[in-house]
Amino acid sequence: MRERHINAILLGGLLATALAAWGLDQPFTITLATKVAILALAGVGLNITLGLGGMISLGHAAFFGIGGYAMGILASHAQNYTPLMEAPLLIEGTNSMPVIWLVAIAASALAALVIGALSLRTTGAYFIMVTLAFGQMLYYFAISWPAYGGEDGLSIYVRNGFPGLNTLDPIQFFGLCFVLLCLVLLFVARLGRAPFGLALTAARQVPARVEAVGLSPYRLQLVAFVLSGAITGLAGALFADLNRFVSPAMFSWQTSGEIMVFVILGGVARLCGPVAGAALFILLEHWLGALSEFWHIYLGALLLIVVLFARGGLIGQIAGREAAHD
Amino acid sequence: MTEPVLSVRNLEKSFGALKATDGVSLDLRPGEIHALIGPNGAGKSTLIGQIAGNIRPDRGEVRFAGRDVTGLPTGARARMGLGRTFQISALAMEHTVLQNVVLGALAARGGAMRFWRPVLQDGALLEQAEAALGRVGLSEHTAARTAELSHGQRRQLEVAVALALRPRAFLMDEPMAGLGAEGSKQLTGFLDGLRAEAPILLVEHDMDAVFALADRISVLVYGRVIATGTAEEIRASREVREAYLGEEDA
């Protein structure tokens, strides 16, 4: 089966699940589908660095968390009718999703620029450790920042609004997240085939060659890291809105690990790998979680099997070794 | 005399107590093939690295296309038109043959910071890449995955990637390495024609190729150039025979 057919089935299946649940009046299932879309989006972000760029970032929770707190901070000020800042200029909170998304994207892109600029000076295990360290720094910062809930996190009582939609209606919120996921997937698909994608994937394989033809692997990787962080940041803002709650857990290294698990389960460098991975993860959490609270044991076993025997992940197994480009 | 395209003046580089480059001066004039030969460990790779920009010299100067490029990184020198081939093929194995060559042409044609339009729909870029592939005789393999190529084809591709940059000068590190007699002969014929387009600084162990191609030869021993001259002069030099060629004759 060709990869693009699998992608269509995956996205179509996710949409059909949500619509069927809506028809059968099962809001909880819609919420699960929404969670899949949002977590997949976070994974699509990571897949740019991990899959295309070959940079193993164990710090993507930093961007997920920044996106989440961008939502939490803006919405809590709007909720309490207190301005974010009065001097030198007045900045009010907001509960408008588009504004929150833009702030989440800008803030996480900026953070990715700083974190990437520093951590891309290292490679291999050091790169993993430096990105992990940045994530943990933000985690402890969030815990010790009492203004926004500290360890307890922040609750937002009403979901933020989107012009013309009732976002409290699960199917409408799902629709928003699903459309965003598809738009980002379209962008990443184009990115992979564009000059940037060619140069980035070459920089993963033969950095010396990329330099010798007059391009800078460092710049390519830094730009990829920023795009990646911005997408994961957007997912963070949506995740916070799904739960109407933000907490330092979004910054934890377990979150970074889970985002990486989505990518690896689904298929590294495969466009819809994170969609398959996140769907599988949520299904396992839902089914096995009902059987035992130690369901992570089974997840661990599955991950081992994928890493040892099925390197291409779920999509790689079905689509075969067909390249991510043609 | 015409201005050299590439020149190196009093270059020095030490690694600890080892002087890998010890006051090297040489130049590359338009239209010539200048071969750099020397026994293993003579410092050829270190010298090439300093010319390409991967290795920073301790002292001395590298000039390219009329500019002092000693402080410039590899990428900047490449964009000025310094095309390079590697001793061990440095190709993106997962990519197709065509993609590798397109990569070579990218910097000169719009750069890599383009995020939307598929690179394989860029007509001008493709034309340039396909032309380069045609010239090295790989036209039939454009769609093949690079990992599937034979060693000889990879060496040809290595040259095509450098060609795609449309360089002002070539820096070729053992392009014949691992090629059979037939492959060497073919590549020798190709390089012979290439010098009219852009001069070549050629590091090569294949002495038949060197003597067939080189307008001038420099002999590097223990980090020093002990002789520079035509093939005849080098063959006649007693110093060179003792230091280098003698070993082969024995």
pLDDT tens digits for range B195-210? 999 999 999 988 889 9
Model pLDDT, residue B150: 94
Each residue's pLDDT tens digit, B87-139: 999 999 999 999 999 999 998 888 999 999 999 999 999 999 999 999 999 99
The amino acid sitting at B155 is: R
Q: Across the interface, do A212 and B52 touch by the CB < 8 Å criterion?
A: yes
CA A214 to chain B, closest CA, distance in angstroms equals: 4
The amino acid sitting at A136 is: Q
CA A323 to chain B, closest CA, distance in angstroms equals: 8
CA A40 to chain B, closest CA, distance in angstroms equals: 21
Structure tokens belonging to residue A161: 């609004």
**Which candidate in B45, B85, B100, B103 is best for mutational testing of the A interface (most A CBs within 10 A)?**
B103
Q: Across the interface, do B113 and A196 touch by the CB < 8 Å criterion?
A: yes
Chain B residue with Cα closest to A323: B94
Answer whether A189 touches B (CB < 8 Å).
no
The DSSP H or E segment spanning B36 is: strand B33-37
Structure tokens belonging to residue A204: 């993963």
CA A266 to chain B, closest CA, distance in angstroms equals: 20
Mean pLDDT of chain A: 94
**Separation between Cα atoms, residue A115 and residue A122, nearest integer Å:** 12
The DSSP H or E segment spanning B233 is: helix B231-236
Each residue's pLDDT tens digit, A177-215: 999 999 999 999 999 999 999 999 999 999 999 999 999
Mean of pLDDT values over A87-98: 90
Each residue's pLDDT tens digit, B173-192: 999 988 888 889 999 999 99
- Residue A324: pLDDT above 50? no
Q: Across the interface, do B86 and A212 touch by the CB < 8 Å criterion?
A: yes
**Separation between Cα atoms, residue B209 and residue B189, nearest integer Å:** 9
Domains and CATH numbers, chain A: 2-319 (1.10.3470)
Which of A194, A209, A223 is closest, CB to CB, to B90? A209
Q: Please, which pLDDT band fits residue A117 given cuts at 50, 70 and 90? A: very high
Which of A194, A199, A215 is closest, CB to CB, to B117? A194
Chain A residue with Cα closest to B167: A213
Residues in B closer than 8 angstroms to A223, CB to CB, are: 113
Q: Across the interface, do A195 and B106 touch by the CB < 8 Å criterion?
A: yes
Q: Across the interface, do A216 and B75 touch by the CB < 8 Å criterion?
A: yes
Alpha helix stretches (DSSP H) within chain A: 3-23, 27-47, 61-80, 97-119, 124-143, 170-193, 195-205, 207-212, 217-243, 253-266, 273-291, 296-309, 313-319
Chain B residue with Cα closest to A222: B113
Residues in B closer than 8 angstroms to A200, CB to CB, are: 112
| SS3 state at A166 | coil
Answer whether A304 touches B (CB < 8 Å).
no
Strand B33-37, strand B18-28: pairing: unpaired
Q: Please, which pLDDT band fits residue A325 given cuts at 50, 70 and 90? A: very low
- Residue B247: pLDDT above 80? no
- pTM comes to 0.94
Task: Indicate the DSSP class of residue A159.
Answer: P
Q: Across the interface, do B94 and A216 touch by the CB < 8 Å criterion?
A: no
**Separation between Cα atoms, residue B122 and residue A193, nearest integer Å:** 11
- Residue B57: pLDDT above 90? yes
**Separation between Cα atoms, residue B123 and residue B74, nearest integer Å:** 28
The amino acid sitting at B175 is: P
Residues in A closer than 8 angstroms to B110, CB to CB, are: 195
Size of interface A-B (CB pairs under 8 A): 106
Instruction: Show contacts of A143-147: CB within 8 Å, 24+ apart.
Output: A143/A248
Which of B52, B91, B118 is closest, CB to CB, to A193? B118
Answer whether B64 touches A (CB < 8 Å).
no
Residues in B closer than 8 angstroms to A206, CB to CB, are: 90-92
Model pLDDT, residue B246: 56
CA A200 to chain B, closest CA, distance in angstroms equals: 9
**Separation between Cα atoms, residue A310 and residue A273, nearest integer Å:** 13
Q: Please, which pLDDT band fits residue A2 given cuts at 50, 70 and 90? A: confident
Q: Across the interface, do A208 and B54 touch by the CB < 8 Å criterion?
A: yes
